[in-house]
Structure 1
Amino acid sequence: MRLLLWLVALMAAAIGIAVTARFNPGNVVFFYPPHRIDLSLNLFVVLAVLLFLLVYGLVRAVRATLGMPKQVAAYRFRKREREANRGLRDALKALFEGRFGHAEKAAMRAAELPENAGLAALIGARAAHRMREPARRDAWLAGIVHDTNLKTARLMTVTELLVDEHKPEAALEAVAELNASGQRHIHALQWAMKANQQARNWPEVLRLVRTLDKRNALHPALSARLREMAYESLLSEGGMDAESVRRMWAGVPATDRLQPAIAARAATAFNARGLHDEARLIVEDALKAGWDERVVRAYRDAAGPEGSPTLLAQIEKCEAWLRAHPNDAELALTLGSLCLRQKLWGKAQRYLEGALSDAVDSALVRETHLKLAQLHEALGQQEEANRHYRLCALADLV
């Protein structure tokens, strides 16, 4: 349709020109003494149009010739840009595919374009790290140290790679620089937590775990395990005296104090420093929140002095717990041990034999045989005591 309209327009223009030229009597005269040239107006118009087209063509040709170097340079730049962008895409694809050698080579091609150099360096650093080439990795990262636009990306990459390489001190330096720039997003906090965990900086790990928990950025099981590891390490430090343990425990949140593993570790720490009253309170509070054999074991070590009201109160509590948990071997062993300490020989033997019948753990069986041997030895039944001593020695071999 468009072609038809163009044809109609051309034919109309041709007819109009032909009619106009036929009835145009005008002429053009050029004088250059002694010469004179007479031209019809129609011929003059045709020649003028042809001259204009010729001059226009010459000007375009000259401009094109003069602009050719610039066009060649622009063509080469576009070609280099296409190759660099293709290299960046290939580098990302190879990195995700696990072909780290190809990824680093493609990153080298991508880095030829200044706009891609920073991202290409991050890809190349990750690829070199996966190939266990720290020198090349550091060289890639050193090339973008002064790139302010990629500062956060570089520091995050450095932290992640150093944590993976188990260099927590260097990773924490990157974390400190990252924090100084005001970047505290969730991913940065997670890597900071891992770096502090490797550095065994447990107070900072606890702080970061609490922060991440508020943002729902940690799985509950992982959060609980990290808290257990942190408190276990803090409470196991040999250089802490009784007052230091008290101060540390006072700073533990109430919800964490009721966790079985944390409560058991704390009770053990208090028992080791002779703080048996505090240990018993820790165990009793934890068992009110939820039953756990690890906590019961710590209660056995927190026994009060022989004949004291404290020891009698412990026995009463254990008897009440045993009615609620009749087949708990750990609880039966604890109750038997407390009765043995109080010299309630009959009760002690009954509870210890009950623990022995329900016990499945070799360590529990060994300790129960040892308590029974001590019981029979106290009663003057040396033959029976020797039998339990032998069974205690054989428990590890089962």
Structure 2
Amino acid sequence: MRTLIWLIGIFAIAVGVAMIAGLNDGYVLLVAPPWRLQLSLNLLVVIVVLGFALGYAIIRVISRTLQLPTRVAQWRERRRRERAGRALTDSVNALFEGRFSQSLKSASRAYETGEGAAMAALVAARAAHAMQDEPRYREWLGHAAEKGANGDVARLMTEAELAVDAGRFDEAAARLAALREGGHRHIAMLRLEARVASALGRWEELVGTVRQLRKHKALLDEQAAPMLRRGHVERMRELAGDGDALVAYWKSIPANELQDRGLIERVLPLLAKAGRGELARRQVERLLDERWDSDLARQYAHCAVDEGEGSVRACLQKAEGWLPQQPRDAGLLFSLGQLCASAQLWGKARSYLESSVKYGPTVEAYLALAHLLESLESGAEAQAYYRAAAEIVAGSSQKSTAALLPA
């Protein structure tokens, strides 16, 4: 349809021009003594139009001929870039497919072209690292440093990530420090920092990094909780010899992180050992009132360790208040036994500990009962509980050994 419309338009213009030309009787007289040339005006118009078109065509041909060397050079450069791009793409594809040798070859070709040389060098470094070829890995990292800008983010991130994978955490920490100095602080970097801090035992740094990741929603609460728990527990173990520092650190932990029952269970013995178990008492009681947890109840006795008789009595009263709702909870009974022993209520302590091993025998409960009986000069009975504890330990060792043996 479009072609038909164009044809009709062209024919209409041709008819119009022919009609105008037929009505034009003008002429042009050119005089160059002794010659005279008389032309019709229509012919002159045709000659002028054709002359202009011919001149324009000649100029274009000359111009394109003169530009030919430049155009050939541009074409070659375009071909070179296309080959480099294909080689770099092939190297990346091969890297993701696990064909590391092929990836290294393609990256080498891309590097030789000079187009995207820094990126090609990084891909080659990753391929060499995956092949465990340390010399070539270092060589390609050097090429990446030469081609990239000073402090190149991609290179430093690659070095840090591969160093972490290889277990060279000190090297990874140095690369991450260089990135921090450059003002970089993105999520991938924070993830690496968390792994490095955990491996190097930088517990406060681990806690701070995990908090940032959670703030940026790069970690779910369920993912962040174990990492925060480990960081807090290990840091408090480091501070165990300094009671004041331990208390200051405990008070610096945000309330939302103190909702982690696993954290409370692990740090309670540390606080108790430093004579500061009372610090966690209110938190433990609040958590147990909200939702019962036998493992946490087992640690409740630590809240009264070395805190004086008044504290022991208060904890004992609170624990006995839970007993009607949890009469067969081995963890609660164990804590009650420990609290009664601290309050020198020997009969009640023995009764609670015997109930604890009845409803949930553990090595800890058997040993506590044996120690209590020894203090009451009932050595023969104590030996029976020592043997029971030893049997549990032996059974656990046998299960662990069996799990390690081939099927």
Count how many residue pairs are aligned between Structure 1 and Structure 2: 382
- Structure 1 residue 103 displacement after superposition: 3.3
For 1:199 and 1:100, locate their aligned partners in 2 and report how far apart those are by CA, in whole Å. Answer: 30
Assess, with a 3 A threshold, how the Cα gap between structure 1 residues 287 and 113 changes in structure 2: closer, same or farther: farther
1:201-240 aligned at under 5 Å gives the runs 201-237=202-238, 240=241
Assess, with a 3 A threshold, how the Cα gap between structure 1 residues 301 and 352 changes in structure 2: closer, same or farther: same
The answer as to whether partners of 1:306 and 1:341 remain within 8 angstroms in 2 is no
Q: CA RMSD in A?
A: 4.0
For 1:130 and 1:30, locate their aligned partners in 2 and report how far apart those are by CA, in whole Å. Answer: 92
2:385 is the counterpart of 1:388? yes
Q: After superposition, give the CA deviation of every residue in 1:3-42 in whole Å (9 maximum; x if it has no partner).
A: 4654676688789989999x989798898xxxxx999969
For structure 1, the residue ranges without an aligned partner over 5 or more in a row are: 32-36
The corresponding residue for 1:370 is 367
For 1:282 and 1:218, locate their aligned partners in 2 and report how far apart those are by CA, in whole Å. Answer: 27
TM-score by length of 2: 0.75
The corresponding residue for 1:107 is 107
The corresponding residue for 2:127 is 127
For 2:174 and 2:122, locate their aligned partners in 1 and report how far apart those are by CA, in whole Å. Answer: 19
The corresponding residue for 1:337 is 338
Correspondence for 2:278 among 275, 280, 286: 280
For 2:341 and 2:333, locate their aligned partners in 1 and report how far apart those are by CA, in whole Å. Answer: 12
- Structure 1 residue 234 displacement after superposition: 0.9
Aligned residue for 1:143, secondary structure, equals helix
Aligned residue for 1:254, secondary structure, equals coil
- Structure 1 residue 377 displacement after superposition: 4.6
Q: Is 45-54 or 253-262 further displaced after alignment?
A: 45-54
- Structure 1 residue 229 displacement after superposition: 0.8
For structure 2, the residue ranges without an aligned partner over 5 or more in a row are: 396-407
For 1:109 and 1:3, locate their aligned partners in 2 and report how far apart those are by CA, in whole Å. Answer: 54
Please tell me the residue identity of whatever aligns with 2:153: T
- Structure 1 residue 396 displacement after superposition: 1.7
Assess, with a 3 A threshold, how the Cα gap between structure 1 residues 286 and 314 changes in structure 2: closer, same or farther: closer
Please tell me the residue identity of whatever aligns with 2:283: D
The corresponding residue for 1:34 is none
The corresponding residue for 1:141 is 144
Please tell me the residue identity of whatever aligns with 1:337: Q
The answer as to whether partners of 1:283 and 1:298 remain within 8 angstroms in 2 is no
The answer as to whether partners of 1:279 and 1:299 remain within 8 angstroms in 2 is no
1:37-48 aligned at under 5 Å gives the runs none
Q: After superposition, give the CA deviation of every residue in 1:232-261 in whole Å (9 maximum; x if it has no partner).
A: 111122773323323332332333345323
Assess, with a 3 A threshold, how the Cα gap between structure 1 residues 6 and 395 changes in structure 2: closer, same or farther: same
The answer as to whether partners of 1:92 and 1:123 remain within 8 angstroms in 2 is yes
Assess, with a 3 A threshold, how the Cα gap between structure 1 residues 141 and 358 changes in structure 2: closer, same or farther: farther
The corresponding residue for 2:250 is 249
Aligned residue for 1:183, secondary structure, equals coil
For 1:140 and 1:181, locate their aligned partners in 2 and report how far apart those are by CA, in whole Å. Answer: 21
Please tell me the residue identity of whatever aligns with 1:243: D
For 1:104 and 1:265, locate their aligned partners in 2 and report how far apart those are by CA, in whole Å. Answer: 49
Assess, with a 3 A threshold, how the Cα gap between structure 1 residues 161 and 316 changes in structure 2: closer, same or farther: same
For 1:381 and 1:337, locate their aligned partners in 2 and report how far apart those are by CA, in whole Å. Answer: 18
2:74 is the counterpart of 1:77? no
TM-score by length of 1: 0.76
Q: Is 73-82 or 62-71 further displaced after alignment?
A: 62-71
Assess, with a 3 A threshold, how the Cα gap between structure 1 residues 304 and 217 changes in structure 2: closer, same or farther: closer
The answer as to whether partners of 1:104 and 1:124 remain within 8 angstroms in 2 is yes
Aligned residue for 1:160, secondary structure, equals helix
- Structure 1 residue 218 displacement after superposition: 1.7
- Structure 1 residue 279 displacement after superposition: 0.6
Please tell me the residue identity of whatever aligns with 1:84: A
